Structure formats: structure tokens, C-alpha cells
Amino acid sequence: MSLILLGILNSQAAAAGGAAAYDLLETQVLTSSASSVTFTGLGSYTDYKHLQIRAVWAPTGSSNVGMRIRLNGDTGSNYFHHQLWGQSSSVSSQGFSNRSYWQISEGVQGVGWDSNVFSPTVIDLLDFSSTSKNTTGKFFLGGLNNVIGSPHITLSSGGWNNTNALTSIEIFCNGTLAAKSRFSLMGVK
């Protein structure tokens, strides 16, 4: 037996009542390759408690690169992060401190391998407007276009040793972001 649900509509969207708690704030879709994508003016989003970035991205070329994040333009050695990833038959972990960025994954292969393949990524930045504690983030990424090694799945998290409220988020890689990569900034109340 197969249950068929027809006529998909939005009729139940607001049925539960209460204010919306998850909003689209901005989206950037690259029409040409770029060295980075930056969301600025985050101070205007203090109605929100947390930020989420939903990305589908790839680097150019065909070599492996990792996605990186820098906050408020801080290039100091103020970031730490840990990664847990599965690749081939093994699960591995590594951690770093005193870095000048978060690296949320290793080896994501570029569109030079297959121009249709992009890697899904969800980035959560918690309590981003707090000025009383350091900023933390957690990350979930699928490295789907990796044929030099093999595809991988990565969970990671990190901290930024700074109590300033976030004003900007820069996303880049140790390469160039490919055209068609998409980055959406969401606000969570």
C-alpha cells in the first residue's frame, strides 16, 4: 500500500499559533567565483538569538579544500575548533586552538571534478549578540564531491575567544568559492 499525499499547500503554516521564530534574513548566490562571502551588519538582527547559515557550496578547481569562517574580521589567533568525521570505513577526530579562523571541515573537492556537485552545510552560531561570553558555533557538512579521497561527513564545533557581539561573518576556503554556491543567513528567535 502506498499513501499518496496530494495538493501540497501552505495551509497549515500558521496553524500552531505564536510568532514565527525562524526567519530568512539574507541570501547570497554566487554568479561567479569569489574568494569569500561576507554577511555584515549583524547588529541589525538583535531581534534574533541565534543565527544559522544554510549553504550549498563548492570550491573551484579539483583539489581538496576546507570551509573556513572568520568573525568580525578578526585575523588573530583567537579561534579553536574540533572536527569529527567519517570517511571510508573509519571515523577520525582532530582539534586545533590558536587559529586565525574556524575550519569546519577538511577536504571538499571542487567543481573541477563535477560542476553539478556541491556540498551541503549547516552552520549554527549561538547567542551571537551576547557581550558577556565568547561565541560558539556548531557545523554539519557533507563533503560529497571528494574523489581524491572519498566522500566524507563532518560534525564540528568551535569557539571564538572574544566576547564582542558578532557584526560580520566571513566564509571562505583555502581556495576559491565556485559560482552557483549559495549561502543563506537565517535568524532564530
Partner 1 sequence: MATPTYTLIDSTVLGSSASSVTFSSISQDYRDLVLVVELVSTNTSFAALRFNSDSGSNYSNVWMQGDGSTASSSSQTTTYIRGFSSAARTNPIMATFQIMDYSATDKHKSTLTRSLDPGLSTPVDKTVAYAGRWASTSAITQIDVVAISNSYDVGSTFYLYGIEA
The Cα 67–Cα 57 span in angstroms is 9
φ, ψ (nearest 5 deg) of residue 43: -65, -15
Closest C-alpha to 82, from 74, 92, 72? 92
Q: Select the residue interacting with partner 1 from 31, 32, 89, 132 (CB under 8 A).
A: 89
* Contact between residue 48 and residue 23 where contact means Cβ atoms under 8 Å apart: yes
Residue 70 Cβ, how far from partner 1 at the closest point, in Å?
A: 22
How are beta strands 64-65 and 67-71 bridged, if at all? Answer: unpaired
Q: Is 187 an interacting residue with respect to partner 1 (CB under 8 A)?
A: yes
Q: Considering only 73-81, 96-104, 109-117, 164-172, which stretch makes contact with partner 1 by CB under 8 A? A: 109-117
Q: Select the residue interacting with partner 1 from 34, 56, 126, 165 (CB under 8 A).
A: 56
Q: Is 88 an interacting residue with respect to partner 1 (CB under 8 A)?
A: yes
Q: Is 91 an interacting residue with respect to partner 1 (CB under 8 A)?
A: yes
Q: Is 12 an interacting residue with respect to partner 1 (CB under 8 A)?
A: yes
End-to-end C-alpha distance for the chain, whole angstroms: 41
The Cα 91–Cα 84 span in angstroms is 7
**Any idea what the Cα angle at residue 150 is, between residues 144 and 152, rounded to 5°?**
50
Q: Is 30 an interacting residue with respect to partner 1 (CB under 8 A)?
A: no
Q: Is 39 an interacting residue with respect to partner 1 (CB under 8 A)?
A: no
Q: Is 20 an interacting residue with respect to partner 1 (CB under 8 A)?
A: yes
Q: Select the residue interacting with partner 1 from 67, 144, 169, 177 (CB under 8 A).
A: 144
Q: Considering only 64-72, 73-81, 135-143, 161-169, which stretch makes contact with partner 1 by CB under 8 A? A: 135-143
The Cα 81–Cα 93 span in angstroms is 11
The Cα 139–Cα 106 span in angstroms is 12
Q: Is 152 an interacting residue with respect to partner 1 (CB under 8 A)?
A: yes
Which residues lie near partner 1 (CB under 8 A)? 1-10, 12-13, 15-16, 20-25, 27, 47, 54, 56, 84-91, 114, 116-122, 140-144, 150-153, 155, 180, 182, 184, 186-187
